[in-house]
Structure 1
Amino acid sequence: MLALALAATLAAAPAPRVAASTVTVLHAPQLDQLQGLNAFLTRAGAYSQMLNPEAWRGELHPILQLDLGKPEVMEAQGIDVTGPLTVSMRKDGRIACTRVKDAKVFQEATANVLARNGDVKAGTVKGVTTLRAPSATGGFGGYVIKGQEACAFLSTDSDDALRKEAAKLVAQKAPAADARMAAVPGVLFVSTKDGVVALDGTATGLKVEGTAAKLPLPPFQTKGTSPYGAMSPAGLLFARAQVAPTGVAQAVESVADAVRTVCPTCPAEDVKAVTDALAKQLTGQVLFGVDSVAVRGSLRKPEVRFFAAKQALAAEVTDAAAVKAALAPLAKFPGAKALEDGYAMEAKGGSVYVRLKGKQLVFGNDSTVTQTLLASLPEKGGPLKRAVEFTLDPKKLARGLSQVSLMDVMGDERLAAFFGASTELGPLLAKSDSITGWLDSAPNGAHRFQMNWSLPEKN
């Protein structure tokens, strides 16, 4: 039954006509299904120029301006809006393939645009019509059309490779279906060698779902219930995860790396001994929370980055007594202070806390956040449908990102992405209602994910 369902899904949507040597593919199975997504992007574009359709509309087609929110305008250009759009982005340019409803109207519309940059050359051989003209960028633009299939191209140089590739694409009677796109729901797909993302939306919400092959995350598994399943989300980030046994050591090592960063004088062998012993006691059930962000100093310093996000992590253990024994070496660490239920350790930029409550081990970098998490841990668990479920508070995220300064970016290029996100997405995040999502493991070490971004009903 599963094979039949997959086959039916693959056959239902028009397959993408993808050019050889393509780096990124943009595919819409039906152009007239993009109005909801366009509505979200238009609203979001009032606060983020990057998302504004006006900013990237010209990239959808090498010749024509496609207005995704107005199917009637695309029909007036001769395009069949019930058909697909596939954009193949290559290093030497791009090719956009569409189905045409009126070949004469389409040819006239494209010829008028091409004529602006110079002499237009046209020809028809064996039912295949080609139009080509110099482009403003120094290469060539044009289209190849056969029957109802048209592929427009724009090259960055004088090579004729894109025109030849476009001719091959229109000659395809039935392009191969893309199983990765068929596996995720959406109206617009972005695909690379490392994964595929599907988008859909309305005026008040964006849904993103996809698969990725190279996320820096451990493998997960779905157990159905979690000791943190009944907890209510709070703070900037609230994430519950079920790490697979094969990924526990990887997850623990990431915590150990953080300890080494802020405590370079901590004995390396003892850090490894503690983390190795703890890894053997963890069930894989994890809760991670970030309450807020407060930057104290330059983010170019690793200890400032570590303590900027007020965070705590809880992990379920199998044997509390064994964990207590495994933590004993911490008492000898520089700046360590024994607590009734664990240890507090002084570090560069602040203090870290390791505390044990029943079968819950809690690690945090802020006393209040750590204590709040300890107090909120429930006695009974609850269902968890996905291996990872998370909630983001967009307003708190916007405030956090706004604390990345231009001077920090100039001194550390790794912070450029955060500064760019603050500049480009910060105003939109501040106007958003919520961001939620989930992750699961997928075959061959990949991950599947979904994110839902909600805007208020009114601006």
Structure 2
Amino acid sequence: MFSSLVLAATLAATPAPRSAASAQTVVHVPKLDAMAGLTAFLERAGTHAALLRPSAWRTELHPFLVLDPTKPESLSAFGLDPAGPATVSLRADGRVSCMRVKDTKVFQEKAAEAMTAAGGEEAKPTTSKGVTSVSAKRAAGGVMGYALKGQEVCSFGATDEGGGALLKESVKLVGKAPAADARLGKVAGVAYLASGGTVVGLDGSGSALKVEGTALKLPLPPFQARGTSPYGTMKPEGMLFSRVSVTPAGVQQAVGSLRSTIQAVCPDCPKEQVRTVADTVAKQLTGNMLVNMDNVQVRGSLRAPEARFFAVRQALAAEVTDAAAVKSALAPLGNFPGAKTLADGWVLAVKGGNVFVRLKGKQLVVGNDEAVTQATVAALPETGAKLERAADFSLDPKRFARGLDQVSLADVLADEQLAALFAVSSELGPLLERSERITGWMDSAPGGAHRFSMTWLLPEAK
């Protein structure tokens, strides 16, 4: 009996969007009047990033009605329920928007006015099996309409070829109760977005945005929570500070990436010896790691591998099981071209700068900047502490924005990845400069997925 009640409560709490079949992206809001906090953040953030302004995306809520979900009276004026749900499904042939109707007569009158204005022809409703449907052509091309049953309505806007299919889909959606979507039930939020293998839940307040989600095929190693981390008591500093715990496969992935990068900036380093050193060290790593990116200092074109490597002043730390074995495995570094032996490690002279490899107790630290490497080594604590998640991070948005500003136009035109960074800088740079902190965590999830959470903080409003 108790388990049945728990199951019933869980199903009741799981969002149930009226999402169209074959939708590429679905946006679902369980209760439109619960978005006040999220809207408050977007309104404030939107003063510095136009893309986030509610006015920039509110026209996407409905195919032919101009609604403002931030104003309940706007929805009521069209006969829609401000406390009801809304689901927008984006398909290759158009979109479907499902909402709850509060006043059927008002909705039909307003819908007829809007469709007539957009289509140049009167929209005539027909009723069959309790479903009232309307379909009309747009003067600008395409088809629009809706299917209405009881208090549920699904409106659509489609290409000429997709009009019939979306009308049938809308009739189908209002004809039955929506099923709970387990994907959305795994994350918290007042609004949800599902696209491909990614599901995101959003919530917020006037000074904070909360994002939770799950994603497939992220370019990240598999994480493995261990509870205690040797870096658990360290305080976040610099541009990006992250503590992670990865599986043995994740260790191999991380070490392999670092090995490839070092080989690229040190082409004279003996390839087989680099590989042997990396493979031997990887076997001694516990999986507990630390990433400490201090700031960005771009020198030269980022199209060159050495310029990319040294653009971010950073150090990486990793816990080892046997410090003596690791020191022995790293000994060949002293014979590499341009290498120098330090009291606690080695420094390699490579294209564009130096790579520092140092040992402190059971901690291996690799960095591309002397000051950042020394600071990281000095900050390593004697004892560890428990971490709630397999990975956590803290980002200084101001330093990140200054780093993005250093990407040159020439590099942007020559590289798609840098072009994406430039787009982020152009759109979000002013907001990042006015933000306090971005923090979050990550975990691995079944099926090769990752679960993540992020909190974006703005200064308290004055």
TM-score normalised according to structure 1 size: 0.97
Q: 2: CA distance between counterparts of 1:431 and 1:9?
A: 39
SS in 2 for 1:231: coil
Q: 2: CA distance between counterparts of 1:457 and 1:294?
A: 30
Native 8 Å contact 2:319 2:364 kept in 1: yes
Equivalent position of 1:445 in the other structure: 448
* Superposition deviation, residue 13 in structure 1: 5.0
CA deviation vs aligned residue, 1:195-246 (integer Å, no higher than 9, x gap):
2000001111100001011111111122211111001110000000111233
Residue 119 of structure 1: which of 118, 121, 135 is its match?
121
Residue 188 of structure 1: which of 183, 187, 191 is its match?
191
Task: Report 1:346-385 matches (<5 A).
Answer: 346-385=349-388
Amino acid at match of 2:66: Q
Native 8 Å contact 2:356 2:373 kept in 1: yes
CA deviation vs aligned residue, 1:420-450 (integer Å, no higher than 9, x gap):
0100000000011111000011111111000
Residue 134 of structure 2: which of 127, 131, 136 is its match?
131
* Superposition deviation, residue 138 in structure 1: 1.1
Q: 1: CA distance between counterparts of 2:90 and 2:264?
A: 41
* Superposition deviation, residue 298 in structure 1: 1.1
CA deviation vs aligned residue, 1:167-212 (integer Å, no higher than 9, x gap):
111112x222111101111011110231200000111110000101
Q: Within the alignment, does 1:146 sit opposite 2:149 as a pair?
A: yes
Task: Report 1:4-403 matches (<5 A).
Answer: 5=6, 7-117=8-118, 118-122=120-124, 123-159=126-162, 160-172=164-176, 174-403=177-406
Native 8 Å contact 1:351 1:366 kept in 2: yes
Native 8 Å contact 1:38 1:69 kept in 2: yes
Cα distance, 1:14–1:218 mapped onto 2, change above 3 Å? closer
* Superposition deviation, residue 257 in structure 1: 1.8
Cα distance, 1:6–1:179 mapped onto 2, change above 3 Å? farther
CA deviation vs aligned residue, 1:96-123 (integer Å, no higher than 9, x gap):
1011111111111221111112113322
Q: 2: CA distance between counterparts of 1:126 and 1:331?
A: 82
Percent of pairs identical after alignment?
60
Q: 1: CA distance between counterparts of 2:423 and 2:160?
A: 31
Q: 1: CA distance between counterparts of 2:94 and 2:158?
A: 4
Cα distance, 1:183–1:397 mapped onto 2, change above 3 Å? same
Amino acid at match of 2:283: K
Amino acid at match of 2:420: A
Native 8 Å contact 1:225 1:383 kept in 2: yes
Native 8 Å contact 2:356 2:366 kept in 1: yes
Aligned residues: 458
Q: Gaps spanning 5+ residues in structure 1: where?
A: none
Cα distance, 1:14–1:180 mapped onto 2, change above 3 Å? closer
TM-score normalised according to structure 2 size: 0.96
Q: 1: CA distance between counterparts of 2:147 and 2:449?
A: 37
Q: 2: CA distance between counterparts of 1:4 and 1:284?
A: 41
Native 8 Å contact 1:286 1:313 kept in 2: yes
Amino acid at match of 1:93: G
SS in 1 for 2:300: coil
Native 8 Å contact 2:15 2:184 kept in 1: no
Native 8 Å contact 2:209 2:457 kept in 1: yes
Cα distance, 1:183–1:13 mapped onto 2, change above 3 Å? closer
Native 8 Å contact 2:439 2:455 kept in 1: yes
* Superposition deviation, residue 66 in structure 1: 2.4
* Superposition deviation, residue 68 in structure 1: 2.3
Cα distance, 1:141–1:222 mapped onto 2, change above 3 Å? same
SS in 1 for 2:237: coil
SS in 1 for 2:333: helix
Q: Gaps spanning 5+ residues in structure 2: where?
A: none
Bigger CA drift: 122-131 or 82-91?
Answer: 122-131
Native 8 Å contact 1:402 1:422 kept in 2: yes
Bigger CA drift: 360-369 or 156-165?
Answer: 156-165
Cα distance, 1:224–1:409 mapped onto 2, change above 3 Å? same
Cα distance, 1:342–1:177 mapped onto 2, change above 3 Å? same
